[in-house]
């Protein structure tokens, strides 16, 4: 069936870059786009959707997408002297971690998260979940359930169970180190390989394989090397959090005399199928306490490795990439991630542009258009997909429509800048993924959303309660998490 979407504005792709088409249209059939332009489609269509004063956009690509209920809600304003209480205590490690949630709860969390991603105009996601309250990262069963949830909501995902060979552990005196369980890491990699072989390419190509070992410092060298070898054999990307924080950076430097990115390169891991979320701690970053010689950005550019930029979560922590424009000028491929709630890439584009301008003291290279390209074409490049992140004949029919008619939008100047300045992902009007309408008339189609919020609150409350069991100080939740204002008495 041929479907035509018409609107006041369309962001089309002319083979070189995005272009704004006034009074444009997009026609798709099956999984693919047939036509994008201002002139009438030279043929008949079976259905026409007139979106009026709206912006038709390629689907947004989120490569560090929140796949559970966000623990950042309680982490956000914890005083720095209490940060160690959020990690695992040595006592908890010695007792043997346990699963706090039931399999049914773990299956639910991805359904809730994926529905939220669809509601924000994200059409391709590479999910990430917290492992703080897990026994050892993600189980095979919860990621298998996540694959079915992605299929049901119609979200394209790059998916695999995360795994780790160790964890940060806080001793009774408050000092932090990393303790390792090599066997757990090996079993985790085995789960990931099994999942990739069973579900890679499943559900009409909506479910795609990816290797997602956890943070660089919680992996053994052997498991890192084996993970990349597995990714190459399977032919899938590998995502690894690295160069994201001071503890991790200093731990790697002290143990290997290399920066995290230099270590990965020495192991042969950096290439065009490796994705690095965050990547802040490189030479020239103002928060480095132990800088090493070299040029990490030049290394990333030479290896064609992607950095996944998540500006909102950085800004909430009081820091910023230094800077988005600098990385792009160095030739580093940039993609976008949300990594926190709300999973709104338009909000991340807005915050990211502001933070980058503050660092660079200039809008050049840090414009809304630069970030939008990163959230579409940059993400597609990271995945090796020239059929995503663009509205063009032959591309996948991943199409999102944002309403520009709301009173909160105000007068329209440039439609994209106006949307980012005055709107948000909540202005989504229509979403099509792989040729299937997945969001329309304010609803995620194909699932019952009526009880999602109630169950999400229950899940969140249990997740938060688990912090007290891990705290090396043994504090209660009231002691750990102060309210914004004291309770009324």
Residue 15 pLDDT grade (very low, low, confident, very high; cuts 50, 70, 90)? very high
State yes or no: pLDDT of 22 exceeds 90.
yes
46-83 pLDDT, tens digit per residue, is: 999 999 999 999 999 999 999 999 888 888 888 888 88
- If asked whether residues 148 and 131 sit together in one domain, one would say yes
Q: How far is CA 39 from CA 24, 150, 284, in A?
A: 7, 35, 49
Locate 65 and state its tokens: 């997408």
Composition of the chain by helix, strand, coil, percent to 5: 40, 20, 40
State yes or no: pLDDT of 487 exceeds 90.
no
Taking the mean position of all CA atoms in its chain, how far away is CA 200? 19
Locate 313 and state its tokens: 């979560």
Confirm if 252 and 225 have CB atoms less than 8 A apart: no
Number of domains present in the structure of the chain: 2
Is residue 389 situated within a structural domain? no
CA angle 465, 188, 220 (to 5 degrees): 100
Is residue 453 situated within a structural domain? no
- If asked whether residues 132 and 260 sit together in one domain, one would say yes
What proportion of the chain, given as a percentage, has pLDDT over 70? Answer: 100
Q: Given this model, what pLDDT does residue 76 score?
A: 84
Count Cβ atoms below 10 Å from residue 141 Cβ, excluding itself.
13
- If asked whether residues 206 and 325 sit together in one domain, one would say yes
Rounded CA separation 97/60 (Å): 37
State yes or no: pLDDT of 424 exceeds 90.
yes
Boundary-marking domain end, from 405, 421, 444: 444
- If asked whether residues 352 and 405 sit together in one domain, one would say no
- If asked whether residues 266 and 398 sit together in one domain, one would say no
Across 8-16, average pLDDT? 97
282-326 pLDDT, tens digit per residue, is: 999 999 988 999 999 999 999 999 999 999 999 998 999 999 999
Rounded CA separation 103/105 (Å): 5
- If asked whether residues 30 and 146 sit together in one domain, one would say no
The 3-state DSSP class for residue 321 equals coil
Q: Given this model, what pLDDT does residue 405 score?
A: 97
Q: Given this model, what pLDDT does residue 123 score?
A: 98
- If asked whether residues 78 and 197 sit together in one domain, one would say yes
The 3-state DSSP class for residue 418 equals helix
Q: How many residues does the chain have?
A: 489
Is residue 468 situated within a structural domain? no
Residue 132 pLDDT grade (very low, low, confident, very high; cuts 50, 70, 90)? confident
- If asked whether residues 407 and 330 sit together in one domain, one would say no
- CATH code, 423: 2.30.40.10
- If asked whether residues 193 and 48 sit together in one domain, one would say no
Rounded CA separation 188/211 (Å): 10
Is residue 477 situated within a structural domain? no
Q: How far is CA 344 from CA 178, 232, 328, 481, in A?
A: 33, 31, 22, 26
Arithmetic mean of pLDDT over the chain: 95
**Which is nearest to 482 in space by CA: 69, 72, 76, 71?**
76
436-456 pLDDT, tens digit per residue, is: 999 999 999 989 888 898 899
Helix axes 182-199, 221-234, angle to 10 degrees: 10
Question: If 0-12 CB within 10 Å is exposed, 13-18 middle and 19+ buried, where does residue 256 land?
Answer: middle
Confirm if 93 and 423 have CB atoms less than 8 A apart: no
- CATH code, 374: 3.20.20.140
Is residue 141 situated within a structural domain? yes
Q: Which one-letter DSSP state was computed for residue 322?
A: S
139-174 pLDDT, tens digit per residue, is: 999 999 999 999 999 999 999 999 999 999 999 999
Q: Given this model, what pLDDT does residue 233 score?
A: 98
Is residue 314 situated within a structural domain? yes
List, in sequence order, the alpha helices (H) in 269-405.
296-303, 311-316, 324-329, 345-360, 368-373, 379-383
State yes or no: pLDDT of 23 exceeds 90.
yes
Is residue 487 situated within a structural domain? no
221-280 pLDDT, tens digit per residue, is: 999 999 999 999 999 999 999 999 999 999 999 999 999 999 999 999 999 999 999 999
- If asked whether residues 277 and 406 sit together in one domain, one would say no
Confirm if 481 and 74 have CB atoms less than 8 A apart: yes
- If asked whether residues 21 and 145 sit together in one domain, one would say no
Across 371-380, average pLDDT? 98
- If asked whether residues 54 and 65 sit together in one domain, one would say no
State yes or no: pLDDT of 425 exceeds 90.
yes
Q: Which residue has the higher pLDDT, 290 or 217?
A: 217
**Which is nearest to 278 in space by CA: 233, 319, 235, 218?**
319
Is residue 279 situated within a structural domain? yes
Q: Which residues form the domain of 201? A: 60-383
Confirm if 189 and 213 have CB atoms less than 8 A apart: yes
Q: Given this model, what pLDDT does residue 80 score?
A: 86
Rounded CA separation 146/168 (Å): 27
Helix axes 103-119, 140-153, angle to 10 degrees: 40
């Amino acid at each position: 069936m041929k479907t035509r979407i018409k609107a006041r504005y369309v962001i089309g792709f002319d083979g070189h870059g995005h272009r704004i088409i006034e009074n444009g249209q997009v026609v798709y059939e099956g999984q693919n786009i047939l036509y994008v332009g201002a002139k009438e489609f030279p043929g008949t269509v079976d259905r026409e959707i007139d979106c009026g004063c709206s912006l038709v956009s390629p689907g947004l690509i989120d490569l560090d997408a929140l796949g559970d209920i966000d623990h950042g809600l309680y982490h956000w304003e914890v005083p720095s002297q209490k940060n160690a209480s959020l990690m695992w205590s040595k006592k908890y490690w010695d007792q043997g971690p346990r699963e706090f949630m039931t399999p049914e709860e773990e299956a639910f969390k991805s359904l809730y998260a994926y529905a939220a991603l669809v509601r924000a105009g994200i059409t391709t996601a590479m999910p990430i979940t917290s492992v703080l309250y897990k026994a050892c990262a993600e189980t095979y069963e919860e990621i298998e359930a996540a694959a079915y949830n992605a299929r049901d909501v119609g979200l394209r995902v790059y998916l695999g169970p995360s795994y780790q060979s160790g964890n940060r552990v806080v001793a009774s005196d408050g000092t932090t180190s990393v303790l390792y369980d090599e066997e757990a890491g090996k079993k985790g990699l085995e789960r990931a390989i099994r999942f990739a072989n069973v579900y890679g390419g499943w559900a009409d190509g909506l479910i795609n394989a990816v290797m997602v070992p956890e943070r660089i410092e919680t992996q053994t060298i052997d498991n890192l090397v084996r993970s990349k070898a597995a990714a190459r054999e399977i032919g899938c990307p590998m995502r690894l959090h690295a160069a994201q924080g001071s503890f991790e950076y200093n731990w790697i430097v002290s143990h290997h005399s290399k920066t995290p990115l230099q270590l990965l390169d020495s192991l042969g891991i950096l290439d065009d199928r490796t994705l690095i979320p965050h990547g802040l701690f490189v030479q020239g970053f103002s928060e480095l306490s132990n800088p090493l010689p070299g040029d990490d950005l030049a290394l990333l550019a030479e290896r064609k490795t992607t950095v996944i930029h998540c500006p909102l979560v950085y800004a909430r922590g009081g820091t910023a990439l230094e800077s988005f424009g600098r990385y792009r000028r160095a030739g580093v491929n940039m993609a976008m991630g949300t990594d926190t709630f709300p999973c709104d890439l338009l909000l991340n584009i807005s915050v990211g542009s502001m933070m980058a301008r503050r660092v660079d003291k200039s809008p050049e290279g840090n414009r809304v258009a630069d970030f939008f390209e990163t959230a579409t074409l940059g993400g597609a490049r990271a995945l090796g997909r020239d059929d995503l992140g663009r509205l063009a004949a032959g591309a996948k029919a991943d199409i999102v429509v944002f309403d520009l008619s709301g009173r909160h939008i105000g007068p329209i100047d440039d439609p994209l800048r106006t949307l980012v300045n005055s709107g948000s992902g909540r202005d989504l009007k229509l979403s099509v993924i792989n040729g299937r309408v997945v969001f329309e008339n304010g609803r995620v189609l194909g699932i019952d959303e009526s009880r999602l919020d109630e169950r999400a609150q229950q899940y969140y409350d249990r997740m938060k309660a688990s912090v007290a069991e891990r705290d090396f100080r043994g504090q209660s939740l009231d002691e750990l998490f102060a309210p914004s204002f004291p309770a009324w008495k």
